[in-house]
Amino acid sequence: MKNRKLRMGMIGGGSDAFIGAIHRRAALMENGIDLVCGCFSINPEISLSSGRSYFVPDDRIYYTWEEMLEKEAALPEDKRMDFVTIVTPNRFHYAPAARALELGFNVVIDKPMTFTLEEALSLREKVKETGLTLALTHVYSGYPAVKEMKRRIAAGVIGKVRRVFVEYTQGWLSKRIELQGGNNAVWRNDPKQAGKGGCVGDIGTHAWHLVEYVTGAKVTEVCADLQRVATGRPVDDDACAFMHTDQGFTALLQATQIATGEANNIRLRVYGEEGGMEWRQMEPNILIAKWHDRPEEHIRMGNGGDFLSDFTKWNTRTPAGHPEGFIESFANIYRNFALTVRARHAGETPTEEMLDFPNVEDGVRGMQFVETMVQAGYDSEQKWHKWVEK
């Protein structure tokens, strides 16, 4: 494994899906992973046509995930896949992920990790039992500027954190487009397919993860409000929360999918005793530093900057002024995951840089976040709700 590419299988991600193409491009970007098999759709015709368009041999294109995992496990070690990436709606995450781990395959899984918190807790036990590696694609933690923010906060550059603001605004669900059918809005707004959380599970989990990732803090309790703004929508499409943390600061989270005219606008601000930092996903290669006694700084990402941390450089591919973005951030997760799998397979200890990707613990906390927000956000007379552990 150390001297060859890792072999990836894919569940979901057919030609009729959006996120599968992003995962494939990201996984293949570093030239260390090959797509060798997959069950790309529950529709056999789409799975076959998709697999062929990805140049997967017919005998490695499967029509159920069960068939795929069992047949891959029966192949010789020098041929079968090394890991599976699961890019389906989250109600289909747990069963194939759990079975893959049981059969000895490492796993990459889209967020939210599972359909329920109970499934997430069970999956964590599977990872512990098998000793295998699971990566969760909270993609925004893969941006170099976000990693630079994390490193500077940890180094005390802005002093003790006092306040965090995170906003994730979209407008694509301003109207009930799910009623038209044939789009991603259908399953995302169906609690039978997406689970309890609508907006809070889809993008709220990303916003929460950014807070915990860059500060190293853990949310301990929330005061939340969830709304179903579009008339008749069965899940939340607008969410906000105050979040207390174990570091003593309060974070304010806003996540909405009914902000008419917005595309994918993320803004993260962290303020400490000595300064503040800001990152905007629409300008992803700039980290803004703010000070009370001097002008603000705009810190550009890119190779060649001695002012950037080694962690940032590790996750950067281009010179300053040559933008990196969404797919490259996904690629950072895949690259670090793949290097970790290689190291562990060789009996080596992965470096801190290799281990810098969201894992099963982040997946569990993400589902706990959804549970806590749903518990606190609807018609609750109680102001603060403790973090739901299980």
Handedness of CA 251, 257, 261, 263 (dihedral sign): positive
Angle at the Cα of 225 from the Cα atoms of 253 and 221, rounded to 5 degrees: 65
> Do the domain assignments include residue 327?
no
Decide: helix, strand or coil at residue 3. coil
> Do the domain assignments include residue 383?
no
Is there a single domain that holds both residue 284 and residue 205?
A: yes
Q: Is the pLDDT of residue 182 over 80?
A: no
Share of the chain above pLDDT 90, in %: 93
Is there a single domain that holds both residue 163 and residue 292?
A: yes
Rounded mean pLDDT of 98-126? 98
Q: pLDDT tens, 144-160?
A: 999 999 999 999 999 99
pLDDT value of residue 349: 98
> Do the domain assignments include residue 43?
yes
Task: Give the range of the structural domain holding residue 162, as residue numbers without chain letter.
Answer: 143-318+366-377
Q: Is the pLDDT of residue 3 over 90?
A: no
Is there a single domain that holds both residue 225 and residue 155?
A: yes
User: Cα(367)–Cα(388) distance, rounded to whole angstroms?
Assistant: 9
Is there a single domain that holds both residue 122 and residue 21?
A: yes
Q: Is the pLDDT of residue 380 over 90?
A: no
What phi and psi, each to the nearest 5 degrees, are found at residue 297? -110, 145
> Do the domain assignments include residue 389?
no
pLDDT value of residue 17: 86
Residue 112: is the preceding peptide bond cis (ω within 30°)? yes
Is there a single domain that holds both residue 172 and residue 302?
A: yes
CATH of residue 104: 3.40.50.720
Is there a single domain that holds both residue 136 and residue 162?
A: no
Q: Is the pLDDT of residue 1 over 90?
A: no
Q: Is the pLDDT of residue 2 over 80?
A: no
Is there a single domain that holds both residue 247 and residue 301?
A: yes
Count of domains observed in the chain: 2
Rounded mean pLDDT of 263-287? 98
**Mean model confidence pLDDT for the chain:** 96
Helix (H) or strand (E) holding 215: helix 205-215
> Do the domain assignments include residue 266?
yes
pLDDT bracket for residue 228 (50, 70, 90): very high
Q: pLDDT tens, 48-64?
A: 999 999 999 999 999 99
